[in-house]
Amino acid sequence: MKLTKKEITRMMDISAVQADSTQDDIKEMVECAIKYDCIAVFTLPNQATFTRALLPKNSNVYLGGVVGFPDGGQTTNTKAKEANELVNELGCDEIDMVINIGMLRSKQYKIVEDDIRAVVEASNGKMVKVILECAYLSDEEIRKGCELCIKSGASFVKSGTGWAPGGTSIEDIKLMKSCVGDQLEVKAAGGVRTLDFLIELYKCGVSRFGISTSSAINILKECEALPNGEIEI
């Protein structure tokens, strides 16, 4: 089986979601995404309008927004309002939300489920990816988080924000995929810095990747060097 450069770029969400991300950082991210036809760009909520203005109207690049970022500890009402504003006022095409990590670890599953469902409903049909932040969770907590994402109508489970200690692991991705099967898709984020690692994650069932601009540029340069623009997997 072969994976083409085009197929790789259309799985890449480039992000500038650090606390110190500047407008110059966002411009660099958007330019990279447009040049390589990546699938989406993600910024913090206060930068959504600025980012949307940088994207051509006929662009294939989606604008993503983050909800409850990066800790997931906001009230459900706050998260729902944030999702509503991002989608209906700021023009976001996709939402990545952070699960209520503390409530999941406290086994307050109804609270977590309702939290996810409220964001899904407020997102008005847009794709919602739920960030589990696996670095803080046990295997059993990851399993339960995946189960709640399925029940709540999410589109994806996602491994992390990129803010937690430690990055995405092959073991966590395999566990997430085994839990959601074909019911949800899986996004890996945090520590995806090379084409080789991206391919390994893809083999484990990942269909979207959250990647910083600098790492994306390095991976895309690796893609450009592929013979015939494709890689055997």
**Where in the sequence numbering do the catalytic residues fall?**
96, 158, 187
DSSP the chain: -EEEHHHHHTTEEEEE-STT--HHHHHHHHHHHHHHT-SEEEE-GGGHHHHHHHS-TT-SPEEEEEESTTT--S-HHHHHHHHHHHHHTS--SEEEEE--HHHHHTT-HHHHHHHHHHHHHHTTT-EEEEE--GGG--HHHHHHHHHHHHHHT-SEEE---S-SSS---HHHHHHHHHHHTTTSEEEEESS--SHHHHHHHHHTTEEEEEEEHHHHHHHHHHHHTSGGGEEE-
Q: Are 112 and 104 in contact (CB under 8 A)?
A: yes
Task: Name the phi and psi angles at 167, rounded to 5.
Answer: -105, -170
Q: What angle do CA 88, 90, 94 make, to 5 degrees?
A: 75
